[in-house]
Amino acid sequence: MKIPKTADILGIINKIAPISLAEAWDNPGLQIGDPSAEVTQVMVALDPSPDVIDSALKASCQLLVTHHPLIFKPLKSISTTTPLGSSIQKAIKGGLSIVSLHTNYDIASGGLNDLLASKLGLSSVVPLKVTTNCELFKLVVFVPVDHVDKVRSALFDFAETQGNYRDCSFAADGVGTFTPLEGAEPFVGTVGKLATVNEGRLELLIGRGQLPRAVKALLAAHPYEEPAFDIYPLLNEGEKLGLGRIGRLPDSTTLGEYVGQLKKVLSAPVLRYVGDPMARISKVALCSGSGASLLRDAVRAGADLLVTGDVKYHEAREAEDLGLALIDAGHFPTEIIMVDDITERLARALVMAGYTSCNVEGCRTEMDPFRI
């Protein structure tokens, strides 16, 4: 029975939402805990609130995965008289690790904003404000022909997808030469003699964020003492990632009708909106959580409407002045949808990695702190 460690689950989360995508001010990743601790029960929640931590401990979880990080700023003290200090103490005492994915999950392709875009019924969805234009590299490695498959599969985890294709690589056969020097312990050949070896030239496309891990995996899988590999910077444009999304509705509708639809889709008790309810809406921008800072980006991108949460009075007035319709659907309703998504994806990824004895459940007790 294969049991994952906290670090294994962090690795899976890093594939869903690479931490390298997070905003500079953010603090996703391991908040508290022992990376080498075994995990058989995981809870997924929006907030690491004291109530959620209690629920996770009650459910005998060893890991709590949340959207909002528990720790944002460096702590000068941990006093158990504060809610944060008490949460930290409780989690450590109860052997509960806490891992968060935040702006990395907002930004990631297939992350929270893509999920929200699909709930909003949008197609042709692209980032509203590009923050990462993935820099691409070509990794070329020379491998003895009978080891090409092993090295290739070790690198697939780090290779870029190309459109709807994953596991993209190229290999060609050739001849490599080398003379092992004194002190060498060659995998093939003899010290002092020129060796001629049938080798494959294996090529893969790797993004900057994955490059260090890819090289580490290459060195671990390659049989040679000194593998020969090259890293070429490319001028090809990589995938554009960023904050918020913008897409189109299949059929244009009125703002008033769309507000009614969203209220149901997001199970929001109330939706505040700015704009003429009879205005036609077809191009919709969105940002989960607090996204009113993207008002002007939405206007520049030609959006008829921005859907977000946490809108302040002056931002509402600015949207009105700009002629942009605005829906404040609330921070909680636009983000609580992450619980089911991460629960399902984590459970699936664990099974695919052979960890069949680790159970993942979504927290069902969280409530919007705002009541109407």
Q: Based on CB atoms, which residue is closest to Zn ion, 29 or 256?
A: 29
> C-beta of 331: minimal distance to Zn ion in Å?
6
> C-beta of 223: minimal distance to Zn ion in Å?
47
Instruction: Give the C-alpha separation, 212 to 233, whole Å.
Output: 14
Q: Based on CB atoms, which residue is closest to Zn ion, 203 or 335?
A: 335
Strands of the 41-45 sheet, one edge to the other: 29-32, 97-100, 63-66, 41-45, 359-362
Tell me the two tokens of residue 149: 């498959």
> C-beta of 289: minimal distance to Zn ion in Å?
3
Phi first, then psi, for residue 204 (nearest 5°) are -140, 155
Closest residue to bound Zn ion by CB: 289
Q: Based on CB atoms, which residue is closest to Zn ion, 247 or 289?
A: 289
> C-beta of 66: minimal distance to Zn ion in Å?
10
Instruction: Give the C-alpha separation, 236 to 226, whole Å.
Output: 29
Which element (helix H / strand E) includes 259? helix 255-265
Estimate to the nearest angstrom the gap between the alpha carbon of 249 and the chain centroid: 25
- Residue 289, interface with Zn ion (CB under 5 A)? yes
Q: Based on CB atoms, which residue is closest to Zn ion, 180 or 362?
A: 362
Residue span binding Zn ion (CB under 5 A) among the ranges 49-57, 188-196, 245-253, 288-296: 288-296
> C-beta of 116: minimal distance to Zn ion in Å?
12
Q: Based on CB atoms, which residue is closest to Zn ion, 73 or 193?
A: 73
Restricted to residues 301-360, the positions that interact with Zn ion (CB under 5 A) are 335
- Residue 4, interface with Zn ion (CB under 5 A)? no
> C-beta of 4: minimal distance to Zn ion in Å?
27
* DSSP-derived secondary structure letter, 159: B
> C-beta of 356: minimal distance to Zn ion in Å?
32
Instruction: Give the C-alpha separation, 286 to 271, whole Å.
Output: 14
Residues that bind Zn ion (rule: CB under 5 A) add up to a total of 2
User: Judging by DSSP bridges, how do beta strands 228-233 and 97-100 pair with one another?
Assistant: unpaired
Per-residue contact string for residues 248-287; x = within reach of Zn ion by CB under 5 A: ----------------------------------------
State the CB neighbour count (10 A cutoff) for residue 192: 10
Who's near 140: CB < 8 A, 6+ residues apart? 201, 202, 203, 229, 230, 231, 232
Binding site for Zn ion (CB under 5 A): 289, 335
